Amino acid sequence: MALNAGVDVVIDNAETVVSGSGLKLELYNADVAGIALPAMQPIGYSMAPFSTERPCEQQDRDRVQAARVAIKRDVARRANAYGQAIVNHVKNNGTAIISVNTVCGRMSNPLQANANIQPPASNVLLELQ
């Protein structure tokens, strides 16, 4: 399996994730879960920061909606950038080790059906793909 950051996270105007997968989506979900987004109050709401003299109106809801979308899109932008950077770093710097205790295949010398292969004589570093 190739190491892949996934598809970029995209947020629509209704705050919905319309695309995203893999590490990028996981980073987005983790980050957005910890954010306190501005509350969407119903029209006519009169508790603070509103009042009976100045209840919540549609224009207030529109401003809050725009702020929530902007926040989520910023989180998505960071998740997309970090997800790709993390994958690139691991691909460029990572190695895998097959220890001397690992059985790696099913081959013998001379070839014999179903015979276990011997482990390597020392640890082997493998490039991650």
Please check whether residues 66 and 29 belong to one and the same domain. Answer: yes
The number of domains in the chain is 2
Report residue 2's pLDDT band, with 50, 70 and 90 as the boundaries.
Answer: confident
pTM comes to 0.77
Say yes or no: 59 and 15 in one domain.
yes
* 129 and 83 assigned to the same domain: no
> Dihedral, CA atoms, 113, 119, 121, 124, nearest 10 degrees?
120
Structural domain boundaries, residue 123 = 95-129
Report the pLDDT value the prediction gives residue 70, as an integer from 0 to 100: 98
The encoded tokens of residue 69 equal 């979308």
The predicted pLDDT at position 75 comes to 98
Structure tokens given for 25: 């989506």
Note the pLDDT tens digit of each residue in 16-49: 999 999 999 999 999 999 999 999 999 999 999 9
- 124 confidence band (pLDDT: 50, 70, 90): confident
Greater confidence (106 vs 109) lies with 109
Are 4 and 58 in the same domain? yes
